[in-house]
Structure 1
Amino acid sequence: MSSDLEEQEDELLALHSIFDSEEFIRNESNNAGELRVSAELPPHFSVSLTEGETVRQYEISFLPHLLLTFTFPADYPSSSPPSFTLTCSWLTPTQLSALGSHLTDLYQATRGAVVLFSWVQFLREDVLRFLDIHTTLELPSDDHSSQASQNTALSLTKNNPGASESGSTDEQSWNSTDVEVSASASSGKLDTQGAAASMPVQETLTAGLSLTPSQTLLSQILIHDAEQRQKAFAFTVFDCSVCCVGWLGSDCVHLSECGHILCKGCLAEFCRIRITEGNVRGVTCPQANCTASPTPAQVKDLVGDELFSRYDRLLLMSTLDRMSDVTYCPQRACGSPVILEKSSTAAMCSVCNFAFCVICKKTYHGTNNCAPKASVAKRRILTDEQQGVVDLPQSREGMKVLMDDYTGGSKERKRLLLNRYGRKAMQVILPEYLSEDWVVIHSKNCPHCFCKIQKDGGCNMMTCTRCRRRFCWRCLTRLPEFGAGGHFEDGTCSLHTGYN
């Protein structure tokens, strides 16, 4: 008897040294414990669920563990096997029964020797082959499953009533198999006489929609697979293609669109520079000739809330700019996006109700033709972009940030920007475009000769420096040569308020 106790203690110590705390838990009070075993899956293994004519199939790398809860009788291993409970959420009662019988057969084949490690090896390496599961685990549909009426986890219990005084064992008693299917719809736990439950069954109730038991099991398997994939990724070392340094996956970002893996430091700096420049379309994978983009959640995690807010705003603007049926309200106080109608040159802002011509961006003037020419700098940018000469930011805000970065940067920074965008783009095209853009925003046309006028002070009664005619700056009304003040006395415009 003392020899059995020593072998039990040695076996428990060996299990403790081999498995981590998530795989093996020991009950110190009565030489018992539990082992969580993950079955090894072959490459390209998948799980499928058939619902009527619909087949849902997903490739996975991990299945929820099998839980082996055991207790050593006093005469183990010399005469009796361990009493055990085998629990699994993705096996049927018949499959669990077959596994339980095979575990007892393994003990019989090596009677007198410790057996738990052999059991774990079998459950990990050979359980799928033993159950004739090769490349696909087919989940039972709710129409044909024994679990159809309740969310269940499957549990197989093998009990050993104990040995006789002479130490012999009634083989028939512990060879008998008792399969228990324990309902767990309310708590998600198993009724296994103190044994720990397998992965809890998740009750998914979303907007009044309840998943069927088979759908819940499929969801549970997919969630477990995703969690284990992420855990395996976090503890694997990858070489960053930018800095060529090996990093743990927990310090890396995996771009699912292209599969490239980069360290967070390199990708974060790359994203910060592009967002600061306003080139949000350039927030892509840094690998050469790769156009894949990180997800918005990855960008937010890399650059923080403040820069991500700018990225989100500029990306929306860039997306709208690329839509041929979207323009912007020309009112400086509004600027809201407006959806165009293909059959009309008129548009109305839904925010400020301003009706304007989509061609000249002025108050709608009916069917009169107007075709404003693009500015010289703008045409030059468009031409050069079509020829692949420059890669300037798409928005005015991005161009202004880039110009400020160049004019206020160090010699080294200016050199880097010149190498990146070219001397012509930085010193000729960009300043011209921003100057013309500034004129458009901060000037108005004289209602008499249409000359560009900038107001830098004084009252709202303006005199054009070109034609010497008077007009109101606020509403651009032409004023008579004599009695012009009457417009401000009798109308809604004020003579001395505002410099807009």
Structure 2
Amino acid sequence: MNADLEEQEDELLALQSIFGSEEFIRNESKAAGEIRVSVELPADFTVVLKEGETLRQYDISFLPPLLLTFELPHHYPSSSPPSFSLACCWLTHTQLSALTARLIELYQATGGAVVLFSWAQFLKEETLSFLGLHNVLELPSDEDVQRDPESNTGREKPLPSENSLKNISDDSVPVGEKKAERASQPSEFKADFKNEGAASLSDSTSELQKAQTLSGLSLSQMLLSRILIHQAEQKQKAFASTLFECGVCFITAPGSECVQLSECHHIFCQACLAEFCRVRITEGTVRGLTCPQADCTATPTPAQVRSLVGDELFSRYDRLLLQSTLDLMSDVVYCPRRSCGSAVILEKSSTAAMCSVCNFAFCVTCRKTYHGAEDCYAPKQQKEDELEEILDLPETNEGIKALMDDYTSGSAERKRLLEKRYGRSVMLFTIEEMLSNEWMKGNSKNCPHCFSKIEKNGGCNMMTCFSCGQLFCWVCLARLPIRGSDLRAFDRPCSICSYFWTRRRPDIL
């Protein structure tokens, strides 16, 4: 093995130890490979696409990498440079050619030393400054893409047209060669350094052309889409390798074991957020499935909820969320059939409704089979009989409770007697409903915001509505402010909650 071959092997081994498996790929069958170079971008780097009168602008931290494909000839590095090609979907032909010429100059400056690592560093650190792209990358519009570069005064053709793609037979096009010369010359480059190296179209550009045909999007839109997708992928990789402190358990964990809410950017470990979601879904308070951070109303995305709780609980979450949304809509009722119960949209001009699932037509008022223009409920005589039976009920709550105790503890004969006197439906449903309503009157209060029934079973007087999340005082039912809000913007509180908010919790006013 001569000195050149030894230096080649040492250089390839060094590149394998320096770069990761995604950055450097070696061809084991010969002295060749490819290096993917991610260009360093300034903090305020922007990608701009102008479509007619519309200007689309994005802050970018990562661009798709440059692909440096190389093959080392036998006399490299002593007397021959590497045979190589440069590929990048967001650079123009002219820019790739300029970079190629610069790489050849770097090899000449070494005087016969290995140069691949120096090339990679130059592409990573100096590409933007060398090409004059400091803070803005302007993507070509559709007109620029299709325009002939020879007739485009003052602007080179940024991306290839369909005709130019057909004329390119491979990914290595030596600078300055003509089409006829490419067909007859071997793959090795001549000793003339002016024609060594290659400025080529990348495989990604060809893929963009194919995707353009399938999706119907313009080439510039597909290029922008690829840049944004690459940006999201790299951000996710950076997040996964960073350590974060969970906002619930305050334990430090890598990003791969954490979840970041896209709306508020708060970060929690997967275990804490998963348990929080499971409890909320199991209890049925899906409206309360918000960010665990205090006073934050952001919600996790459905995809995040599914990944945290699994498909079974997510199905319940999806169903309850839809149901709670429909419950807040005044023009939606449910089909009265117990076997159906589907949501039905009402028409304001009619008292009739028809379920789209079971095709049951019913009256909106009494929830019975639709009866046309006739009055709701039972026939007139039956109404009078029921009214008479209801009037015979005890007038006091104590009397109703005694009657209910008599019915529930009595014998079968006693129950039949009471049902005959008061009516079976009254004994089974009406009295029970009256007692239930009476109990709620004495043991619950209405939320001052959404008027839902709230029961206080312990704790302080600061209550949180399970339905709308409103904070209020149990004593005076005044709506209480959240952190950072002005107390004067809410209902005037009583002395108890005013003392609590101004003395015990002055930090949130």
TM-score category of the 2 structures, normalised to the smaller one: 0.5 to 0.7
Q: 1:74: Cα distance to partner?
A: 3.1
**Structure 2 equivalent of residue 173 of structure 1:** 192
| Distance of 1:420 and 1:367 partners within structure 2 | 52
Q: 1:259: Cα distance to partner?
A: 0.7
**Structure 2 equivalent of residue 385 of structure 1:** 447
1:233 to 221, 233, 239: 239
1:213 to 214, 219, 225: 219
Q: 1:112: Cα distance to partner?
A: 2.9
Deviations 1:1-51 (A, max 9, x none): 933333322222211110011111223343222111111122243323222
Q: Where do residues 29-178 of structure 1 align in structure 2 (5 Å cutoff)?
A: 29-145=29-145, 146=157, 147-149=160-162, 157=173, 173-176=192-195
**Structure 1 equivalent of residue 336 of structure 2:** 330
2:230 to 224, 232, 241: 224
Matching residue's letter, 1:300:
R
Deviations 1:273-292 (A, max 9, x none): 01110101111111111111
Q: Relative to total residues, which structure has the larger helix share, 1 or 2?
A: 2
SS of the aligned residue for 1:276 comes to helix
- Residue range with higher mean Cα deviation, 138-147 or 360-369: 360-369
Matching residue's letter, 1:353:
F
Contact kept, 8 Å, 1:66 with 1:198, in 2: the verdict is: no
Q: 1:211: Cα distance to partner?
A: 2.2
Q: 1:156: Cα distance to partner?
A: 6.0
Identify if the C-alpha distance between structure 1 residues 13 and 392 changes in structure 2 by more than 3 Å, giving closer, same or farther: farther
Contact kept, 8 Å, 2:49 with 2:139, in 1: the verdict is: yes
Matching residue's letter, 2:345:
I
Matching residue's letter, 1:19:
F
Q: Where do residues 412-427 of structure 1 align in structure 2 (5 Å cutoff)?
A: none
| Distance of 1:18 and 1:171 partners within structure 2 | 31
SS of the aligned residue for 1:144 comes to helix
* Structure 1 position 201 matched with structure 2 position 208: yes
Deviations 1:214-241 (A, max 9, x none): 2222222222222222222222222111
Identify if the C-alpha distance between structure 1 residues 228 and 68 changes in structure 2 by more than 3 Å, giving closer, same or farther: same
SS of the aligned residue for 2:21 comes to coil
Q: Where do residues 301-312 of structure 1 align in structure 2 (5 Å cutoff)?
A: 301-312=307-318
SS of the aligned residue for 1:253 comes to strand
Contact kept, 8 Å, 1:338 with 1:347, in 2: the verdict is: yes
**Structure 2 equivalent of residue 11 of structure 1:** 11
SS of the aligned residue for 2:79 comes to coil
Q: Where do residues 396-435 of structure 1 align in structure 2 (5 Å cutoff)?
A: none
Contact kept, 8 Å, 2:86 with 2:199, in 1: the verdict is: no
Matching residue's letter, 1:175:
K
Matching residue's letter, 2:55:
V
| Distance of 2:325 and 2:120 partners within structure 1 | 55
Q: Where do residues 233-272 of structure 1 align in structure 2 (5 Å cutoff)?
A: 233-272=239-278
**Structure 2 equivalent of residue 481 of structure 1:** none
Identify if the C-alpha distance between structure 1 residues 389 and 69 changes in structure 2 by more than 3 Å, giving closer, same or farther: same
Contact kept, 8 Å, 2:62 with 2:230, in 1: the verdict is: yes
Identify if the C-alpha distance between structure 1 residues 7 and 381 changes in structure 2 by more than 3 Å, giving closer, same or farther: farther
| Distance of 2:440 and 2:367 partners within structure 1 | 17
Deviations 1:424-454 (A, max 9, x none): 999xxxxxxxxxxxxxxxxxxxxxxxxxxxx
Identify if the C-alpha distance between structure 1 residues 322 and 204 changes in structure 2 by more than 3 Å, giving closer, same or farther: farther
Q: TM-score, normalised by structure 1?
A: 0.65
Q: 1:243: Cα distance to partner?
A: 1.3
Matching residue's letter, 2:299:
S
Contact kept, 8 Å, 1:390 with 1:422, in 2: the verdict is: no
Q: TM-score, normalised by structure 2?
A: 0.64
Contact kept, 8 Å, 1:151 with 1:213, in 2: the verdict is: no
- Residue range with higher mean Cα deviation, 326-335 or 171-180: 171-180
- Tell me the number of residue pairs that the alignment of Structure 1 and Structure 2 aligns: 379
CA RMSD, aligned part only? 4.0
Identify if the C-alpha distance between structure 1 residues 420 and 220 changes in structure 2 by more than 3 Å, giving closer, same or farther: farther
- Residue range with higher mean Cα deviation, 40-49 or 294-303: 40-49
Contact kept, 8 Å, 1:100 with 1:158, in 2: the verdict is: no
| Distance of 2:458 and 2:465 partners within structure 1 | 8
SS of the aligned residue for 1:43 comes to coil
| Distance of 1:40 and 1:388 partners within structure 2 | 53
Q: 1:311: Cα distance to partner?
A: 0.8
Contact kept, 8 Å, 1:96 with 1:156, in 2: the verdict is: no
| Distance of 1:278 and 1:254 partners within structure 2 | 24
Q: 1:250: Cα distance to partner?
A: 1.8
Contact kept, 8 Å, 1:68 with 1:85, in 2: the verdict is: yes
Q: 1:263: Cα distance to partner?
A: 1.0
What residue ranges of structure 2 are gaps of 5+ in the alignment?
146-156, 176-188, 378-432, 467-509
Contact kept, 8 Å, 2:68 with 2:85, in 1: the verdict is: yes
| Distance of 1:367 and 1:44 partners within structure 2 | 72
What residue ranges of structure 1 are gaps of 5+ in the alignment?
160-169, 183-188, 191-196, 394-414, 427-500
